[in-house]
Structure 1
Amino acid sequence: MEESVSDVESTPLNPRKADSLKHNIDEPDLEEFRAKNEEEMRAHYVGTGSVEEFLDGLLPYRPRTNKRPPLPDNPFATLKEADSWVEAKVVDKFNEALKTHSLCPKLAFRRSQHRPHPKNTDETGQKIDGGFFRLSEAPDDGRPHWELQLVQAEFKGRKDKDKYDPFADGETPLFEPIAEVIEPSAETRTEVRGQIITYAEQVFAMQHRTFVFMLLVMGRRFRLIRWDRSGAIVTRAVDYYESPGPLCEFLWRISHVKPVALGLDPSATRLTPNSVEFETMTNIAKDTSRDLPYHAPRIIPPDYKLPEGYWFKYVREMFAESISNPEWLRYRLEVVCNGEIRSFLVGRPCFRARALAGRGTRGYVAYDVKGDRFVWLKDCWRASYDLLEKEGDILQRIRNECGADVSVPTVVCHGDVPLQATLTADWWEHKHPLSPDDGRPLPPSGPPPRRSSRITVPMKRKIPDDENEESNDEPAPNFRPDCPLRHHEHYRLVVEQVCMPLKNFLNGKQLVSITSDCVLTHGQVFEKLNILHRDISDSNILIHPKVIEGDGGLLIVWKGILADWEISKPVSTDVRIIARQPERTGTWHFLSINLINNTWKLVTVADELESLIYVLIYYAVRYLRSSLVSREDVARFLDDTYDAYSIQRGELFCGERKVRMVTNGTLSVYNARNASYDPIVFNSPMDKLINPILKGFRARYNVMQAQSLPTRRPPLATVRMANKVNSHKWIKGYLELCYGDSGWSGLQDKAGDRVPSGWESNRKPIPTRFGGPRS
């Protein structure tokens, strides 16, 4: 397939995402995680003209029934000298003012700056200064209790002026109502931004929230922040001693509005220990009577009778583990599909994305109340643009076109959560309107978009009159190329298969088989629907055990499933095609070299197949016995090949070792003693698989390099070899030959995880100034 160039339909603008750090061999510490989150949130802040504008647009309430009583004096009089105090004293005096003047009468403020949660609850060990809680739930143990916080509060001293203020205030000179949020580049102020981002992210992780309010107090000044999956809306810094009214109004309102107005998701009902559904979850988690006790591939004994309504034991155990920690609360989640509301009971997510801005994907083993079974529930904030399909619709279309045996998840139900969408991008667009005639900036007209009484309703965006109309060649009517923020809608997808992660494969032969299943599926979808997945990674290649009818009775077989088709799209070679959203995601570690180094190129079949082979190599090296005897050598190879990067001309590019692996066409490791590269040998049929495929990709890159030089023409044999890596059939053929090789017989080649626990890399984290998009 001919590769086309487009500067709008691109690979990830910044493929080194915060969430992708979890793939690193050297697990990132909190400091690196915060720095990466801060980087990804740059230019994702929208300023407000005043606190009043913020409150009226984002925290409306009924002043007639909940009118704030007048205060006879300044409730913050005791904080007059707060700019000269240390942070702890500011918190003490602020807390005293809250209590003395009953500024927030229906909520309780609790401090938590000294004691984190244990690692099994919060692996990051973070400690926010305080938060506001319901009176009946206010904790007294000095911990943050992210699962219960309604509104967050962070304090900073101001003895060093604005050193700890993460933002600065500016104005667009022509239009007074627009307040620009400036992100100072000073190291300390940048660090504070990273800190408060991860505080908000932790609440999103442990609760079901549509947005989160945060009160940021710096000496005698305060800011209000509203976080959602698009970004954050931030007020100017206000001196609450000189002007106590705005802060008092905020505190009064958060105390008198309904929980939904504070960002609690009404479609997620928290279950109390005395509720029937809570007890149901406890009983189901303990019920072994329906367990199919083994799930490894095998023949089921003829005399064994499958339990009625059986499930695999590992699935029930995953569910039991998800409800074992009481600090991760249990919920009933609603999914609206075809006019029906389905209920699913969940505990702690088995998977969650580790970033604030973006889809915020969480995956649960859920109990299907109606179906009386375990299912997989995916909760995310999908990109909301006219030309984007919902993942459930994509999966159903794949099954309809490719047949019931195609290895993708089977949809139970799916749908957008009614009236739940991010609001920050709408505020940005309202404050930066364009002239319909020439696209030049205009002053904002009218008040900014407001929340409904139920939840975050965005400004209306055009939806095509005919949903079946082919419009991929037309610009998305609701896409503003100049807007750095994405619109998101809350979305839930429920599928039948509760799969195992790829690392659970039993041996090398099975790893080849699972990869082969996914290559076959990828090829079927491409041939039938002309769709590419565009997010190939190990997280999306799963193992699905299932019971089938064989010649001699029932069998348990393992199939590879290619999941997460959310950002898939039809292939186009039209360079005029317009991006359907501002950016898309991907996983740095498994992206093709082509897509990492050329962010303006379209994704091709060859790029996707290259990613699949990188996953195979990664898991073979990490879990199979090989000539890499030392576990440290395994870790170094994976770190150098998958985690590393290079910086050229101030830009971020693919690491040198990954490039060398492909350009040499061999799987090898650097030998520092001899300053040479030694082949990695598995002493199994795997040795006949990896190197021939790498040579095919070597030919592809040789052709691409030759084509970039007008005076060079690649040899015809090389061109023919390069064309093969665009073919699913060619890759599948090698995988099938390898799988059928007699050399696997009796071979027990899986050695467990060969990366030492706690291994640390000598490689420095990516400098954040290199993390942004390349022009």
Structure 2
Amino acid sequence: MRARYVKSGNPAEFLHVLLPFHPRTNVRPPCKKNPFEGMKDADDWAEPKVVEEFVKILEAQNLCPKLVFCRSESRPHSKETDETAQRIDGGFFRRSEAPKDGRPHWELQLVPVEFKNRKDGDKYDPFADGSEGEVYLVDAVLEPQAESRRDVRQQIISYADKVYAMQHRTFVFMLLVMGRRFRLIRWDRSGAIVTNAIDYYENPEPLCDFLWRISYVKHIALGIDPTATRISPGSADYKTMADIAKDTTRDLPYHTRSLPPNYKLPEGCWFKYIREMFAESMKNRDWPCYKLEVAYNGKIYYFLVGRPCFLARGLAGRGTRGYVAYDVANDRLVWLKDTWRASYDLLEKEGDILLRLNNAKLSSDIHVPTLVCHGDVPNQATLTADWWEHKHPILSEVDASRTAPPSDPPRRSSRVTIPMKRGHPEDVEISENQSPNPNFRSDCPLRHHQHYRVVVAEVCMLLKKFTCGRQLVSVVYDCLSTHEQVAAELGLLHRDISDGNILMYPKIEKQETGLSLVWRGYLIDWEAAKPIAPHNACFVVRQPERSGPWHFLSANLINNPSKPVVIADELESLLHVLIYYAIRYLHSSITPDDEVAKFLDATYDSYVVHDGAVHCGERKGSIVADLGKLVLWQPKQSRNVAIVFNSPMDMLISRLLRSFKARYDVMNAEELGVGAAETGVQHLAERLRTHEWMRTALDAAIGDHWNLLDKVGDRVPKGWKCSKRPVPSTTPGRQ
């Protein structure tokens, strides 16, 4: 969330635009006297007393008539529901759902509320307002770096994140009370809009207005997603889900095996592991079940889901959630992805890309998900970036003598957020005379997001479930082969190759011995796919950032974020996935297990900051670009020692690393002005311009002799904490 906060200014502007209210008969009665009269000395009180007295006034003055405020500062949820054991001070709930057990109930909160004391002034205020009359607030001012203030900022971020995780929200309002001051915050997937700190004892109207509005507006105006209907236990939909979760009669075995001639999967059945994943998503009763809508080709499709099987970390960004979902219309279990895609012109939706892949005349060796349906969720887009653009008008468009931005912000109903037309989403090739799209603000550091859902037929298994080293290589081979065909036939590069996007799925295939059920590697999440860049093309950055698979991104792209992605970078990402999973799950010469964890931390979780720019970690860069060998530093011996698996994996990784080192040698030579022929490794580097050589190397390794019992389980100790630098949530500077 760093540098993702936008100053709202006064609360009146915040409420007028973000929480519009047409009272009609629900006119707020005038205050005959200051309702917060008893809070005059609140700046001198400890936090518990601030909470206690504030809550008394809420109830006595009936400031929020239709909602109930419930406290929850002393009792967290179970570790199964919330492993971080977060305890917010309280929140506003519907009267019919107000909890009585003292827990936060993130799944029910409408408006979370946090309290802090002001006995030490602004020590616990996570934000700062800057100088009086200041128009453009510098990020460093809005985000004070004092430790106590950073801690509170992180605390309220985690609270908003929990609400997002357990509910389907388009945005979240939060009330922050500090002594006798308050701030209003509106969180969405772009960032947060924050008001000035207001003394509600001196000026009670803004806070009273906010409390009255949240009480009477429809819940959609508080960010509740109307296309996600909560399923209550005992309802017909819940009974349907429960019946499916325990119905073993429709299970199919999924182990590799030979099948009878002309065998077909029975209608209305699914592989056992898929049903088990669905059942697991319903086990925790604290996590609500939902009926989700997807609008596609003029129809509405409904899907029943429980707890997400995958939940992306972090509040700002795509916020991707993955579900094993029950397809109501077709009586089957499918995979539903709920995400906030980047919303810019010319950015193709993932479902449209999948449809192209599904319809392309490619061989049976291509393994990508089969589209069921997809579509943007109507009228649900972020607006924090819009607010930033309003607060930071382009100077050439306004009178230089003005000292303030336009008085009226872009009017966006809090119930219907309409994304503005955006420019090109990423670095796209442009001609010499072509000007950037005027609707795109390249100076805006925040991204515009649109809520989006896509459903595919295959429910895949995580890569970590591979059974042996040979299968791991086979899965990587399948994904490389798929990538090769898509690049050759459709001219697309995936550009987001990571372990989370390489999965496994059982397929029926005809082989020399007849029909067999075999596991194949599937390359998923094609939303970042983009046409192959012409050689020496000129590019212009067209969005503030893009998510990147940091752990598995090529060293070249990490160190040179302005470069376009080429085939060799994609192949290197596949190599990093192969190395990571071989080290983590296979028997090797690394002992003990904590040395495995340290190696992975140093190689894939670390980075170097130089002159303000983020660069590839030393260990990763050394392995792929400097040494061209898979080695482990041994302090006692003061030297690098080769990591070996005593399997065909050794020769495979060694061959691949030699070619990637050659590629970096050639690039370094070119930067120094040394002719390519002088490097002596040009032919090795040339292998990586296409997929063929690496595909052949993987294929040869698969056909070698393997110990099929070489997988020893997860070698990273349970509860291991990375001691290195935290991995950035996005690839800094990468477009």
- TM-score category, normalised to shorter length: over 0.9
Residue 299 of structure 1 aligns to which amino acid in structure 2? Answer: S
Residues 356-379 of structure 1: CA distance to partner in whole angstroms, max 9, x if unpaired?
A: 111110000000001110100000
- Residue 667 of structure 1 deviates from its aligned partner by 1.3
Cα distance between partner residues in 1 of 2:589 and 2:226: 55
Residues 642-693 of structure 1: CA distance to partner in whole angstroms, max 9, x if unpaired?
A: 1223343454322222222122121121122211112111111112200010
- CA 1:175–1:612: 2 relative to 1, 3 Å: closer
1:560 has 2:521 as partner: yes
Cα distance between partner residues in 2 of 1:503 and 1:177: 46
Residue 586 of structure 2 aligns to which amino acid in structure 1? Answer: L
Alpha carbons 1:432, 1:441 under 8 Å: kept: no
Instruction: Give the structure 1 partner of residue 467 of structure 2.
Output: 506
Instruction: Give the structure 2 partner of residue 545 of structure 1.
Output: 506
Instruction: Give the structure 2 partner of residue 700 of structure 1.
Output: 663
Cα distance between partner residues in 1 of 2:730 and 2:69: 40
1:605 has 2:567 as partner: yes
1:570 has 2:531 as partner: yes
What does 1:240-389 align with in structure 2 at a 5 Å threshold? 240-292=200-252, 294-300=253-259, 307-389=266-348
Cα distance between partner residues in 2 of 1:354 and 1:82: 36
Instruction: Give the structure 2 partner of residue 731 of structure 1.
Output: 694
Aligned residues: 726
SS at match of 1:234: strand
Long gaps (5+) in structure 2: none
Residues 392-428 of structure 1: CA distance to partner in whole angstroms, max 9, x if unpaired?
A: 1111112333537321111100000011111111111
What does 1:147-546 align with in structure 2 at a 5 Å threshold? 147-170=107-130, 182-292=142-252, 294-300=253-259, 307-403=266-362, 405=364, 406-434=366-394, 444-445=405-406, 447-452=408-413, 454-458=415-419, 460-461=420-421, 475-546=436-507
Higher mean C-alpha deviation, range 624-633 or range 189-198: 624-633
- Residue 179 of structure 1 deviates from its aligned partner by 12
Cα RMSD for the two superposed structures = 2.8
- Residue 177 of structure 1 deviates from its aligned partner by 12
Moved segments of 4+, more than 4 Å: 171-181, 301-307, 435-443, 469-474, 549-554, 711-714, 766-775
- Residue 624 of structure 1 deviates from its aligned partner by 1.1
Cα distance between partner residues in 2 of 1:771 and 1:536: 13
Residue 222 of structure 1 aligns to which amino acid in structure 2? Answer: F
- CA 1:619–1:485: 2 relative to 1, 3 Å: same
Alpha carbons 1:45, 1:181 under 8 Å: kept: no
- Residue 475 of structure 1 deviates from its aligned partner by 2.9
1:590 has 2:552 as partner: yes
Instruction: Give the structure 2 partner of residue 642 of structure 1.
Output: 604
Identity, in percent, stands at 59
- CA 1:438–1:339: 2 relative to 1, 3 Å: same
Cα distance between partner residues in 1 of 2:64 and 2:39: 17
Alpha carbons 2:423, 2:437 under 8 Å: kept: no
Residue 560 of structure 1 aligns to which amino acid in structure 2? Answer: G
- Residue 168 of structure 1 deviates from its aligned partner by 1.1
Q: Which has the higher contact order (CA 8 A, sep 6+)?
A: 1
- Residue 457 of structure 1 deviates from its aligned partner by 2.6
Cα distance between partner residues in 1 of 2:644 and 2:137: 66
- Residue 436 of structure 1 deviates from its aligned partner by 6.3
Instruction: Give the structure 1 partner of residue 594 of structure 2.
Output: 632
Residue 561 of structure 2 aligns to which amino acid in structure 1? Answer: T
Instruction: Give the structure 2 partner of residue 750 of structure 1.
Output: 711
- CA 1:714–1:123: 2 relative to 1, 3 Å: farther
- CA 1:345–1:669: 2 relative to 1, 3 Å: same
Residue 230 of structure 1 aligns to which amino acid in structure 2? Answer: S
- Residue 140 of structure 1 deviates from its aligned partner by 1.5
Alpha carbons 2:550, 2:728 under 8 Å: kept: no
Cα distance between partner residues in 2 of 1:209 and 1:46: 20
Instruction: Give the structure 2 partner of residue 107 of structure 1.
Output: 67
Residue 240 of structure 1 aligns to which amino acid in structure 2? Answer: Y
- Residue 181 of structure 1 deviates from its aligned partner by 6.9
SS at match of 1:48: strand
Instruction: Give the structure 2 partner of residue 654 of structure 1.
Output: 616
Cα distance between partner residues in 2 of 1:137 and 1:653: 49
SS at match of 2:360: helix
Alpha carbons 1:434, 1:440 under 8 Å: kept: no
Cα distance between partner residues in 1 of 2:702 and 2:630: 19
Alpha carbons 1:49, 1:179 under 8 Å: kept: no
Aligned counterpart in structure 1 of residue 17 of structure 2, from 36, 57, 73: 57
Residue 239 of structure 1 aligns to which amino acid in structure 2? Answer: D
- Residue 310 of structure 1 deviates from its aligned partner by 1.1
Alpha carbons 1:385, 1:478 under 8 Å: kept: no
Cα distance between partner residues in 2 of 1:667 and 1:276: 56
Cα distance between partner residues in 2 of 1:180 and 1:690: 45
Cα distance between partner residues in 1 of 2:675 and 2:472: 40
Alpha carbons 1:110, 1:132 under 8 Å: kept: yes
What does 1:77-96 align with in structure 2 at a 5 Å threshold? 77-96=37-56
- Residue 566 of structure 1 deviates from its aligned partner by 1.0
Cα distance between partner residues in 1 of 2:469 and 2:138: 60
Alpha carbons 2:263, 2:515 under 8 Å: kept: no
Alpha carbons 2:362, 2:485 under 8 Å: kept: no
Residues 605-650 of structure 1: CA distance to partner in whole angstroms, max 9, x if unpaired?
A: 1111111001001111111112224222222222222122334345
Cα distance between partner residues in 2 of 1:446 and 1:173: 14
Cα distance between partner residues in 2 of 1:521 and 1:228: 36
Cα distance between partner residues in 1 of 2:110 and 2:516: 50
Residues 241-264 of structure 1: CA distance to partner in whole angstroms, max 9, x if unpaired?
A: 011111011001101111100000
User: Could you state the TM-score of these two structures normalised by the residue count of structure 1?
Assistant: 0.89
Higher mean C-alpha deviation, range 572-581 or range 236-245: 572-581
Cα distance between partner residues in 2 of 1:177 and 1:581: 21
Residue 506 of structure 2 aligns to which amino acid in structure 1? Answer: P
Alpha carbons 2:429, 2:539 under 8 Å: kept: no
SS at match of 2:115: strand
- CA 1:179–1:298: 2 relative to 1, 3 Å: closer
Long gaps (5+) in structure 1: 1-40
Higher mean C-alpha deviation, range 492-501 or range 63-72: 63-72
- CA 1:453–1:659: 2 relative to 1, 3 Å: closer
- CA 1:412–1:580: 2 relative to 1, 3 Å: farther
Cα distance between partner residues in 1 of 2:466 and 2:293: 34
Cα distance between partner residues in 2 of 1:470 and 1:639: 36
Aligned counterpart in structure 1 of residue 647 of structure 2, from 684, 687, 700: 684
- Residue 594 of structure 1 deviates from its aligned partner by 1.1
Higher mean C-alpha deviation, range 308-317 or range 706-715: 706-715
Alpha carbons 2:605, 2:726 under 8 Å: kept: no
SS at match of 2:372: strand
- CA 1:441–1:490: 2 relative to 1, 3 Å: farther
